[in-house]
Amino acid sequence: MSFQDIIFYLFSAILIASALGVITFRNPVYSALLLVLSFITCAGLWLLLEAEFLAITLVLVYVGAVMVLFLFVVMMLDINLVKLREGFWKWFPFGGLIALVMVIEISMVLMGKYFGLDEMPNPQPHAADYSNTKELGRLIYTEYVYAFELAAVLLLIAMVSAIALTLRHREDKKVLDPGKQISVQKKDRLRIVSMPAEKKNQ
């Protein structure tokens, strides 16, 4: 067993354990943090597969931004676990059915003839000056440019519609206009009154 194999098995063990923790821990904050751990170990596995750009982007996007907002929300929730587990057995057959469909689908992909170990050997190590990012960029902007642009437009639509759905115009909110604040002159606010000195009444 080589050094890389040991790292692979170590990372896989951590990944599986933390992924199990995500769905078994009762405290949602622990679950969110374990999900972060599983993202990071997954990035480690991708690095072993020579997918450095994807690995670092996984950490950058999911760990650095998405999970921060998740944690942000989860920490503010006051979750009542008893109420949450009430409908567990009622919905269990439905959930189980979905899980079964997912398992079948994934095994159709992974166990078929297209994705077997013979079809997908370990990636060949590249030379030191090979840039994964550059190759990926070249492919995205030449061969897959339409798909890429379509995905970008979809994301933009999703973002705009999310904002549009949650945007509420309130009439009674108090807003400061920084432009007005900066342009305030002395004479707008302050009135200097010249006044003769008054004698104290005897």
Partner 1 sequence: METIQQYFIQFFGSQWGNMLFLLTTNLVFIFAIAIPLLLGVAYLTFAERKIIAYMQIRVGPNRVTFFGIPWLRGWGQPIADAVKAIMKEIIIPTGANKFLFVLAPVLTIMPALAAWAVIPFSPELVLADINAGLLYILAMTSMGIYGIIIAGWASNSKYAFLGAMRSAAQVVSYELAMGFALVCVLMMSQSLNIGDIVSGQQGDSLLNWYLIPLFPMFLVYLISGVAETNRAPFDVAEGESEIVAGFHVDYSGMAFTVFFLAEYANMILVATLTSIMFLGGWLPPVDIAPFTWIPGFVWLLLKIAFILFFFLWFRATFPRYRYDQIMRLGWKIFIPITLIWIVVLGLIMQLPESIRDVFPLNLWF
Of positions 10, 16, 17, 60, contacts partner 1 by CB under 8 A: 60
Structure tokens at 40: 């990071």
Three-state secondary-structure class, residue 21 = helix
Told to check if 29 binds partner 1 by CB under 8 A, we report yes
Question: By CB under 8 A, what part of segment 161-190 binds partner 1?
Answer: 176, 178
Binders in 123-162 for partner 1, by CB under 8 A: 129-133
HSE-up of residue 195 (Cα within 13 Å, Cβ side): 6
Asked if 92 interacts with partner 1 (CB under 8 A), we say no
End-to-end CA distance of the chain, in Å?
A: 106
By CB under 8 A, tell whether 2 contacts partner 1.
Answer: yes
CB atoms under 10 Å from CB of 40, counted, come to 18
Phi-psi region of 50 (alpha: psi -120 to 50; beta: other; left: phi over 0): left
- Choosing from 64, 112, 116, 123, the residue that interacts with partner 1 (CB under 8 A) is 64
Q: Which residues bind partner 1 (CB under 8 A)?
A: 2-3, 29, 33, 36, 52-53, 56-57, 59-60, 63-65, 68-69, 71-72, 75-76, 129-133, 176, 178
